[in-house]
Amino acid sequence: MARRVHQTPGSRLSGYAAALAVAVPVAGRLVDRLRPRRVLACCLVANMAAYAVLL
């Protein structure tokens, strides 16, 4: 059976912060081009999924 590698909480939070640093400007550009409600709903779903993986 494969062993699961446990990451430290600091490395997980650093990865989450790095992903946000990339995703927020992209989401801002999409809000300017598309409907804000649709983009923000997608961002909400993605953020909830990221929190689920983070825990």
For the whole model, what pTM was predicted?
Answer: 0.65
The verdict on residue 3 lying in a domain is no
Give residue 15's pLDDT.
85
Structure tokens at 27: 């989401």
The verdict on residue 1 lying in a domain is no
Q: Which domain holds residue 49?
A: 10-54
Number of structural domains (the chain) is 1
Residue 51, C-beta contacts closer than 8 angstroms, at least 6 positions apart: none
The verdict on residue 5 lying in a domain is no
Give residue 28's pLDDT.
92
- Fill in the DSSP letter of residue 34: S
pLDDT exceeds cutoff 80 at 7: no
Rounded to the nearest 10°, the torsion over CA 49, 43, 18, 52 is: -10
Give residue 53's pLDDT.
81
